[in-house]
Amino acid sequence: MPWTSLPYSIRCLRSSVRPTPRSFSFTPNQRLAHYASHIPSFREQVARTSEVKSFSKELSRPSVRNQVLFVVGTTVVVYCVAARWTNTDTFYWSNVLQTTGSAWQTRPPSNDEMRRARYFQYGKVLQTRLALVKDAIDEWPQTLRAMVIWSYIQVAQPILDASEGRRMCWAIGAVNTLVWLAWQFPRLQPAMARHFVHSPLSGRSYTLFTSMFSHRNIFHLLATSMVLSSFANVRDPRVHSEVAPFIVPRLRHVPCPSCIPLTLTTATAGLFSGLTSHIAISRITFPRLVSRLSASARATTSVTASSTAASTSAAATSAAVRSSQGVTGAVYAAFTLTALAYPDTELAMAIPPTFPIPIQGALGAALAVDVLGIWRGWRRFNHWAHLGGAAYGAWYWAWGYKMWGAFREGTLGSLPRELSNRPAQA
């Protein structure tokens, strides 16, 4: 019967539909493997979507405008302060001497006479301080008291006997020593490197001034301080003459303390030499270095490799650009000014001892070494700063004294042009 044969037929159908078992095996598809090998990585996809900066864009060109404005503004302020200080000091001592002596009733005192008056007053100040020291150590043992008083006299007497210019050089050396001591503390070195070292790539301008007092090497500190002190007694005969109407035509009394022109020259020459180095590195050394390193960066074909090369080259450029420190530019300015004012002077080194040589020959040899150092790419010294200081010294000899006289006239204010309550007799 049909319904009796149905289960048998269903069983036959199931057996025919049931799949036969097969062993599973994976055969790699060569076409898929070909496409998988060309799938970019995540870093390459990000590099394709974002623009890769070239090496020339990785480093921005150092600024020059802000540094020029800072140096010009600071120089004008320094000239104004120095000129006003000179006029006030001259007016004060003229009146003091004219009211205490009959010799100056008909004429204003000279520069040497005012210098001797300042010497005696400073001596009284040191004596007053010695009396205070004696009162402070009155209860100490006698041997210790004698040692302290002797030490004070040994320090105070050379300071009193030194000229005003040399005292100022010693004061500058003392400030340089304090800054050098700050360099010796590891915790202060990051702040010192930021605020007392001038780097053209930093973009800062005030470090042109602060870096003049910064010395990391003790030998650099001693050399600059000793050489600057050796030029302390040099005077410009046109500025320190007793009667110099050609300098300040409408100012009848022109004497001034010898420390003021020296301080003025040191500050402004240090700024100008630092600015010269900054401009030379920003406009000459930096473009050449960037072009040389960018050529090596363009030689790489990979995107990732070119980006890494740009970062590496940027770090190499920052390390290759020289930073400025020290007051050597001001030393070169004083050296040049002395050679032009006193061409017959001879120089001789004490350490090591040498034979005397003409000062102009020594200056020419030093400048030749700096020119050779720039040409050969020496990085031991800041040769651009040396040449900038020498150029400032030559400019000051040619036109600086006229500018000094103009500032003295401009800062008179309510002071009389004779800088005295009693005009000079014709």
For residue range 18-56, list pLDDT tens digits in order: 555 555 454 555 555 555 555 666 666 655 555 555 555
Whether the predicted pLDDT of 184 surpasses 60? yes
CA dihedral for 205, 173, 392, 321, sign (positive or negative): negative
pLDDT of amino acid 240: 47
How much of the chain exceeds pLDDT 70, in percent?
69
**What pLDDT is stored for residue 130 in this prediction?**
93
- Amino acid code (one letter) for 142: Q
Lowest mean pLDDT among 2-16, 227-241, 377-391, 406-420: 2-16
pLDDT in the model for residue 144: 93
Q: Which residue has the higher pLDDT, 189 or 255?
A: 189
285-329 pLDDT, tens digit per residue, is 777 777 777 666 565 544 444 445 444 444 444 455 667 778 888
Instruction: Show the tokens assigned to 371.
Output: 């020119």
User: Is the pLDDT higher at 21 or at 244?
Assistant: 21
* pLDDT exceeds cutoff 90 at 152: yes
| Mean pLDDT value across residues 151-174 | 89
Neighbours of 170 (CB within 10 A): 17
> Which amino acid does the sequence have at 112?
D
Residue 353 has pLDDT above 80, yes or no: no
**Of 15 and 108, more confident:** 108
**Distance in angstroms (rounded) separating the CA atoms of residues 425 and 418:** 10
How far apart are the C-alpha atoms of 268 and 404, rounded to whole Å? 12
Please indicate whether residue 370 or residue 379 has the higher confidence score (pLDDT): 370
Widest pairwise Cα distance in the chain: 165
Burial degree of 335 (CB within 10 A; 0-12, 13-18, 19+): buried
Write down the pLDDT at residue 132.
Answer: 94
Burial of 6 (0-12, 13-18, 19+ CB in 10 A): exposed
Share of the chain above pLDDT 90, in %: 26
Higher pLDDT residue, 195 or 300?
195
* Residues in Cβ contact with 310 at an 8 Å cutoff, skipping those fewer than 6 apart: 53, 54, 55, 58, 297
| Residue 380 clears pLDDT 90, i.e. is over it | no
Confidence grade of residue 356 (pLDDT, cut at 50, 70, 90): confident
Query: Is residue 135 predicted with pLDDT exceeding 50?
Result: yes
Instruction: Choose the weakest-confidence range: 27-36, 205-214, 270-279.
Output: 27-36
Average pLDDT over all residues of the chain = 77
